[in-house]
Every structure is written in C-alpha cells, then in structure tokens.
Structure 1
Amino acid sequence: MFSKVLVAEDYEIANQGIIKVLNDKIGIHNIEEAKYCDDAYLKFRKAHNDQEVFELLITDLSFREDHKIQTRTSGIELIKDIRSIQPDIKVIVYSQEDRPDKINMLFENLNIDGYVCKGQDAIQELVACVQGVYQGNTVWPPEITNNSAANTMIHLDDLDIILLEELSQGFTKKEIRIKLKKQNISPNSESAIDKRVSKLFDDFKAKNTTHLVAIVKDLGIL
C-alpha cells in the first residue's frame, strides 16, 4: 500500500475525513495535509528535495480564496505542477464536480489515476479508489461508469486541442489556417477549419469564442 500521501483539501471537515479513512480503513498513516494549493506544492517540493517523495496525491479541484496571493488556485494547476516534477506520482481527484465531460477531461488531459465524487458513498468509493490505484488500475467514478452520458462524452484529437489553444490566444480562423499551413499540419483548408470550430461550438454548447474558451478552461482542457 502507499506509504506516504499528500492531501490537498481546503475544508477542514473533508480534510480530516479523508485522513481518517486513510488511517482507519486502509492503514496509511504517513499523511501530510494542506488547505491551499501553494502549501501543498511546497510540501511536495520539500519531500521531493529530501528524497522522501509522496507516492499519492489526493486533491480537490476548487479551493477558497485566501488573504494571501496564491500562485496556484486550483487542483488542476497543482496536479500539472507536481506532475511536471514527479510524473509517476499517483493522483486521485476528490471533488463535488460530477459532470461526466469534466471528469473525462481530467482523465484524458491530466492522466489522473482515479476520481471520487463527494457524496453519501464517498467513503466507500475513496477506499476502493485508493486500493484500485495502488494495484495499478485507473479508477473511474460510478457517475461515469453507470451513466449513459458517458456514451456522449466529448473526445478531442490533437487538431481540436491546437484550434482551442489558438482561439484562446485570440487568433482568428484565417490566422490559424495560415499557421497550420506553415507548420504542415493538416487538414488546414478553410472549410475543414470552419467545420472543426463549428463542431467545437456545438459540442460545448458555446455561444461565441469567448464562451468556448471559458468552458474549455473550466474543464481543464487548456
């Protein structure tokens, strides 16, 4: 079983609840907690520098604002920064977020190892998730595995990601087409790009480019 775990959760009750589950139900006792992403990152860096690395990160997605200026304000940013230093650390997200598309994006884009939705079955699911991840499995929540919405989740390819990144930087479709041609990325015709962008608008139910960019950032895609 995991010997050292980092828990990032800003609500004290939830934080202590996770620790109690890890202690009593799974037998993990070497646990450090943090209420803010920057604090969690600092604890991670210290452990990494001391060669006493964490094997598992359990983090929420949303964190309350603090009177201090925080460099990292979300679990997504925390995961990215930690994984950039220790790519093999296991990551479980523990959150109230239950939208299948957002959960799916976390698995696809951040390569998280498990997801647990806060709720009445959270304790049982957290235990199963930690045990499954330790065994090398990717543990999806019942909100997806038991939900017909999973069949309609949005799947993006490399070109979709490129288009979203370029749109988020304010480039027009014409400017994007020129850049794709220069980089020999295809398809790059005007009609192909129009169709792709239109599909992205439909998939994410976006009203305009600004709305689309806001949605995909919220989903953790960018």
Structure 2
Amino acid sequence: MPEKIKILIADDHQLIIEGILSYIKDIDHLEIETTNSCDDAYAKIKVALTETPFQILFTDLSFDNATENSRIDSGENLIKTIKQEEIPIKVGVITGHSETNRVFSVIQNLNPNAYLLKGKCNTAELTFAIEKMLTGEIYYTHEIHQKLLKRALIDIQMDDVAIQILKELPKHPKISNLEGIITKEDGSLLKIRSIENKLAKLRTDLQANNNTDLVLKAKELGILD
C-alpha cells in the first residue's frame, strides 16, 4: 500500500461506522474520515480535491436519514454523481443489501470497485479489498460473487419463450390457459406439452418448488419486475 491512504466512510448508522473503523483501525497508513449523510460525503470529496483528495469512498446504499431537502438521498445516487462528474476516487459499497436484483442493478449500472456485506466483512477482507481497489482491480465478497455468477448463468438460459412464460404465469390460474398465448421465435404458438416441459426446466434451473415459487425466484433474480 502507498504511504498514505485517505478513506471516507459514509453510513447513516454511527454504530456501523464504528464497526468498520474497528476493523481497519490497525491497518497502517490510513487517514479516515466519516459522515452520516450523502450530501456531506459529496461535499467532503469535492473540498478534498483541491488539497489531498480521498482515494477511496466506502458507502452504504440506503440512507434512512435522508429528507426531502437532501440533494443526494442514497448511496446509489452518490456513486452516480461521482461517476457523472468523473471524480477520481475508488468507490466501494458496504451494505446489508444482498438481494440479487439489487446487487445486479448496482453493479451493472454503477460498477463499484468493491461490494461488501455488513456483518460479514472483517479486517482481512477490508484490507484485501482496499489493496485491490488501489491497484484498479474489482473486489466482490464471496456471496456477491456467487450471486452474480448465478444470475449470469440464468441470463444465458433465459430465452424469449422462458421470459414470456414467466410473465404470463401469474396472470393465469391454470397452465392450460397459456396455450395460445406463448409464441416461438418463428411466431407459431407453443403447445401445452412444450410449455409444461419448459416450466419443469425453469423450476429446476431456478431451484423452485412449484410455479408460485418459480415466479418469486424470478423476481428475486431481477428477471421479472
């Protein structure tokens, strides 16, 4: 690591900040500042640009203390603002949000340098994440990495027919009602036997117990809204 690493930690819960500080207090060469608001985090980052810029920002995603007067009301909007203004700082997420669709959305749209989970990170992981971030590498904690791999695998398996079936499934109490609705790539209608076979494969792929569970899993993975 370089001789001096300037880090800003933003979280609306002071106890969380104290926990993170306890993990990294013994890491050499760190200069750490903290804040409980996104607006203040942004202001600190901007002011520091004229003197000694922050090299790393660790932020939560949700800030329950945001008000209607807050210019930046979430960690996601803070990251978005930093990216839009091309501020030279590495951004890491430390959050309790591990829902696959939320994780996928944040990583796909905001491309943070790190994604760690509250309550599961420790000194070793934070040290490793900081080292990776400073060298321009990406670090996602194991659980997040596994979710992304699963989502990527699901995306590969999700063809247009599968998406049609998943979208129509909640609207019809009987599977037989889907016949005459689902179309193949050539525009022809899918027969009930083919629909049932596709549903069976989807339940296996998404590890769903039944069709209701299948829809819930598809929503969890962000395949359905």
CA RMSD of aligned residues (A): 2.8
* 1:47 to partner: Cα distance: 0.8
User: Contact 1:38 / 1:72 at 8 angstroms: preserved in 2?
Assistant: yes
| Structure 1 residues 127 and 66: CA distance shift in structure 2, 3 A | same
Count residues with an aligned counterpart.
161
Residue matched to 1:19: 21
* 1:38 to partner: Cα distance: 0.6
Structure 2 residue runs of 5 or longer lacking an equivalent are 157-186, 188-218
| CA distance in structure 2 between the partners assigned to 1:154 and 1:73 by the alignment | 31
Residue matched to 2:34: 33
User: Within the alignment, does 1:46 sit opposite 2:47 as a pair?
Assistant: yes
* 1:154 to partner: Cα distance: 5.3
Residue matched to 2:126: 126
| CA distance in structure 2 between the partners assigned to 1:37 and 1:92 by the alignment | 14
SS of 1:115's partner is strand
Q: Larger radius of gyration, structure 1 or 2?
A: 2
Show the 5 A alignment for 1:157-176: none
Residue matched to 2:6: 4
User: Within the alignment, does 1:205 sit opposite 2:224 as a pair?
Assistant: yes
Q: Partner amino acid for 1:101?
A: N
* 1:23 to partner: Cα distance: 2.4
| CA distance in structure 1 between the partners assigned to 2:45 and 2:86 by the alignment | 10
| CA distance in structure 2 between the partners assigned to 1:57 and 1:88 by the alignment | 11
| CA distance in structure 2 between the partners assigned to 1:136 and 1:39 by the alignment | 26
Show the 5 A alignment for 1:1-222: 1=1, 3-24=5-26, 26-48=27-49, 50-66=50-66, 69-147=69-147, 149-152=150-153, 204-206=223-225
SS of 1:145's partner is helix
**1:45-74: CA deviation from partner (whole Å, max 9, x where unpaired):** 1112x2321111100000112567211110
* 1:37 to partner: Cα distance: 0.4
Structure 1 residue runs of 5 or longer lacking an equivalent are 156-190, 192-200, 207-222
| CA distance in structure 1 between the partners assigned to 2:99 and 2:44 by the alignment | 30
**1:23-51: CA deviation from partner (whole Å, max 9, x where unpaired):** 21x32431111101011111111112x23
Q: Higher mean Cα deviation, 95-104 or 29-38?
A: 95-104
Q: Partner amino acid for 2:115?
A: Y
* 1:121 to partner: Cα distance: 4.1
| CA distance in structure 1 between the partners assigned to 2:124 and 2:7 by the alignment | 18
Q: Give TM-score, length-normalised by structure 2.
A: 0.62
| Structure 1 residues 34 and 108: CA distance shift in structure 2, 3 A | same
User: Contact 2:9 / 2:35 at 8 angstroms: preserved in 1?
Assistant: yes
| Structure 1 residues 132 and 153: CA distance shift in structure 2, 3 A | farther
SS of 1:33's partner is strand
| CA distance in structure 1 between the partners assigned to 2:116 and 2:132 by the alignment | 12
| CA distance in structure 2 between the partners assigned to 1:100 and 1:203 by the alignment | 7
